[in-house]
Amino acid sequence: MNARIEDYALIGDEQTAALVGRDGSIDWLCLPRFDSGACFARLLGDEDNGYWRIAPKGADTSTRRAYRPGTLVLDTEWETADGTVRVTDLMPQRERAPDVVRVVEGVSGRVTVRSTLRLRFDYGSIVPWMRRSDGHRVAVAGPDSAWLRSEPAVHTWGEHMGTHAEFTVAEGERVAFVLTWHPSHEPRPPLVDPYEALSSSVTDWRRWTSRCRYAGPHRDAVVRSLITLKALTYAPTGGIVAAPTTSLPEKLGGVRNWDYRYCWLRDSTLTLGALLSAGYHEEAAAWRDWLLRAVAGNPADLQIMYGVAGERRLSETELPWLSGFAGSTPVRTGNGAADQLQLDVYGEVMDSLALARASGLPSRPHMWALQCALMEFLQAQWRQPDEGLWEVRGGRRQFVHSKVMVWVAADRAVRTLEEHPGLKGDLEGWRRLREEVHREVCEKGYDPERNTFTQYYGSRELDAALLLIPRVGFLPPDDPRVVGTVDALRDDLGHGGFLRRYDTEGSAVDGLPDGEGVFLACSFWLADALHLTGRAKEARELFERLAGLVNDVGLLAEEYDPVGGCQLGNFPQAFSHIALVNTAMILFGDPGAGDTAG
C-alpha cells in the first residue's frame, strides 16, 4: 500500500480519473464518472477493496516516474537485476466507454512482470463474477461490467479472487493491457487500439498545452496545474470537480474526511480567471455555461455545490466497510454541506458572470435575468447568518467573508448596469445595498484594537478568506486595514511558513475535533496579498516555497503538514492548482489576473 497521498499520480479521460501509486498500483478509480462507485478502492481500504498492480515480479517501489512533457500520460520505470521495464498508463479520450490502457515495455535486459487485478465494484464492496469470452476476462456484478484483454495475448488465471498474469519482456518488446467498463446490460463496446490510443493521447495533450500563453517562471508547474484542471473537467458538461477523490483526510487518523467529487461555486471566479488568463477561453466558456445551468431556478435554492451535470441531491453517507486512508474514518460519499446556506456563493456567481462578460465570452439568453433574480434574493436575505466559505458544521454566524461577497454581488451588478445602460435593473437599490453592506462590514467585522478584520462579527478569531478583500476590490491594497489584516493573519494563522484557513484548536466554529494542515490555496492567497500590498520579494519567496511542495509529478493536495512533511486532503485538489496558476499570473504574468474587480 502506498503510504502517502503524494505517492500517487493522476490519469484520466475528462469524465473520471484514476490514482496510480509509485508501486505501479491503481488504487482508486470510479466508473463511469468521477462521482460513480469505485471499482478500485484500496486507497481507502486494503487489497480486498480492489486495485490493479503491474510491476516487475518481486519488485517494490519504482525507480522513477514522470509524465510525458505536456501530457497526462504517465511513465513509471523499475530498474531490476535483470533489466529495466517501463509501464505507461493513460486513459484515452472515450468515444463510448472508459478505458484504462497500461503498456508494458522492455527497456533493457529481460524482466519478468506480474499483473494482479482485483475488481471490486461499489467502493470495494462487491466481488464480481469472472468468466472468459473471446480471449477476454469479463467481470460482471449488477449494473457493472468490465473487460480485460492484452495485446499480444498473455496467459491469465484466477486466484484468490483476482486475475493474474505473468510474462517476460525483453528490450523493445511491448505488452498492452486494456480494461474497459460498460453497463452490464449493453453489448461490449468497440475495442480500442492501445498503441494508437497512446500515440493520439500524447499528440492531443501536447496540442492542448501548446495553447498556454503563460511564459513566466515556473511555467512547467503552471502547465501541469492547467493539465490537472483539464483532467478534473467533466467534458460532457464543462463542470470541474474539486478533486477526483473522497475522504482523503485533512488530518491523518481524523474525521475531516469529505467527498470532493463535485463542483463548488466558491471556485467559480478563480477558476474562470485562471482559464482566461492562461488563454483557455473555450474551457472558460464551458465552465461558465455549466454554472448557468446549475444555478438556474429559484435563487433561494442556490446550492454551494452541484454534481458534474448539475445534480442537486448529494446526500452524505458513510461506508463502514472501508478502513480509511491511514485509518482515517469515516469514509464518506456525498456531501451534506450541499444543503448549507452560504451567502458568499451569490457574490461568486455574480463575480464570475461579470468577469465572463468583461472577457468577451459570448452572452447567454436569460443570463442577466438570472443575475437580477439573485440580486433580488440578496436584497431581502443578506442580513442572515450563514455557514460561510469553509462549510462549518458548528452553526451559522455573521461571517465577514460572506458579507464581503454580498458587497461583491452588489458591486458587480451596479457596474454591469453602468457599463451596459441598455440592461434593466434596480441600479439605485443595488447602490444602496453596496453602500450599506460596506458600512456594516467596516463597523462590525473590523477590530480597530488589532487593526484587522475578523472571521465573523464581534469575534476575536481570524479567517484566511479575509485575504480576498483587496482582490475583489472591497478595499484598496494600500488601505491600512488591509495591511493590518494581512499581518495579523500571518501572525495568528501562520504555520511552518504557510497559512491555515482558521484556528481549529479549541474553536467551536466548525463543530469538529481539532487539527488540520495548512491550506495551500490560502497560502497562495497570502502570496497574492503580499504582492498587492507592496511586498513583492516576500510574495515571490512564499510562492517558491509553495511551488516546492508539489510531488514528483507536479501535483498538490488540498493541505500540507509542515511537521510531518506530507500532503493532506483530497488529491489532486483543483483549488490548490487554480491558486498556483493565478498566483503565478499575478507575480510573473498577467498583472490583472489577481483583480476580479478590474
SS3 state at 545: helix
User: Which of 393, 420, 445 is at the close of a domain?
Assistant: 445
Strand (E) or helix (H) holding 491: helix 480-493
Does 217 map to a domain? Answer: no
Does 218 map to a domain? Answer: no
Cα 216 from Cα 426, distance rounded (Å): 43
Residues 174-206: tens digit of each pLDDT: 999 999 999 999 998 999 999 999 999 999 999
Strand (E) or helix (H) holding 174: strand 174-183
Dihedral-angle region of residue 104 (phi above 0 means left; psi in -120 to 50 means alpha; beta otherwise): beta
Cα 236 from Cα 212, distance rounded (Å): 22
Does 544 map to a domain? Answer: yes
Does 311 map to a domain? Answer: no
Please, which residues bridge with residue 453 across strands? 446
- Residue 304: count other Cβ atoms within 10 Å of its Cβ: 22
Residues 495-547: tens digit of each pLDDT: 999 999 998 876 677 777 777 899 999 999 999 999 999 999 999 999 999 99
Residues 30-68: tens digit of each pLDDT: 999 999 999 999 999 999 999 999 999 999 999 999 999
C-alpha distances (whole Å) from 379 to each of 284, 300, 560 are: 29, 12, 39
CATH number of the CATH domain containing 480? 1.50.10.10
| Contact call for residues 190 and 58 (beta carbons, < 8 A) | no
Q: What is the CA radius of gyration of the chain?
A: 25
495 and 440 within one domain: no
- Residue 327: count other Cβ atoms within 10 Å of its Cβ: 10
Q: Which residue, 83, 33, 31, 75, is CA-closest to 54?
A: 75
457 and 427 within one domain: no
Dihedral-angle region of residue 428 (phi above 0 means left; psi in -120 to 50 means alpha; beta otherwise): alpha
Residues 410-452: tens digit of each pLDDT: 999 999 999 999 999 999 999 999 999 999 999 999 999 999 9
Q: Is the dihedral of CA 236, 237, 238, 239 positive or negative?
A: negative
506 and 437 within one domain: no
| Contact call for residues 239 and 294 (beta carbons, < 8 A) | yes
pLDDT at 594: 47
Does 508 map to a domain? Answer: yes
Mean pLDDT rounded to a whole number for the chain = 95
**Count of domains in the chain?**
3
Q: Is the peptide bond before 572 cis (omega within 30 degrees of 0)?
A: yes
- Neighbour-count burial for 244-262, b at 16+ CB within 10 Å, e otherwise: bbbbbbbbbebbbbbbbbb
566 and 481 within one domain: yes
Please, which residues bridge with residue 148 across strands? 137, 179
420 and 564 within one domain: no
409 and 540 within one domain: no
Considering only residues 594 and 154, tell me which one the structure prediction assigns the higher pLDDT: 154
Phi, psi of 174 (to 5 degrees): -135, 145
Residues 319-347: tens digit of each pLDDT: 999 999 999 999 999 999 999 999 999 99
Cα 195 from Cα 175, distance rounded (Å): 10
Please, which residues bridge with residue 482 across strands? none
Percent of the chain with pLDDT over 70: 98
Please, which residues bridge with residue 110 across strands? 170
Mind giving me the DSSP string for 44-56?
Answer: GS-GGG-EEEEEE
What the block records as the C-alpha cell of 46 is 486494503
What the block records as the C-alpha cell of 162 is 483476482
460 and 375 within one domain: no
485 and 435 within one domain: no
Q: Which residue, 7, 570, 596, is CA-closest to 351?
A: 596
For the chain, the first-to-last Cα distance in angstroms comes to 48
| Contact call for residues 236 and 15 (beta carbons, < 8 A) | yes
**Helix boundaries (H) for 533-573:** 536-547
User: Which of 384, 410, 445 is at the close of a domain?
Assistant: 445
172 and 76 within one domain: yes
* Residue ranges making up the domain that contains 36: 5-202
470 and 369 within one domain: no
Q: Is the peptide bond before 143 cis (omega within 30 degrees of 0)?
A: no
Q: What is the DSSP letter of 237?
A: T
Does 316 map to a domain? Answer: no
CATH number of the CATH domain containing 185? 2.70.98.40
| Contact call for residues 117 and 125 (beta carbons, < 8 A) | no
User: Which of 422, 445, 468 is at the close of a domain?
Assistant: 445
14 and 75 within one domain: yes
488 and 418 within one domain: no
Does 216 map to a domain? Answer: no
Question: Which residues lie closer than 8 Å to 380 by C-beta, 6 or more apart?
Answer: none
pLDDT at 515: 79
Dihedral-angle region of residue 334 (phi above 0 means left; psi in -120 to 50 means alpha; beta otherwise): left
Does 295 map to a domain? Answer: no
| Identity of the amino acid at 24 | G
Q: How far is CA 147 from the centre of its chain?
A: 29
Q: Grade residue 136 by pLDDT with cuts at 50, 70 and 90.
A: confident
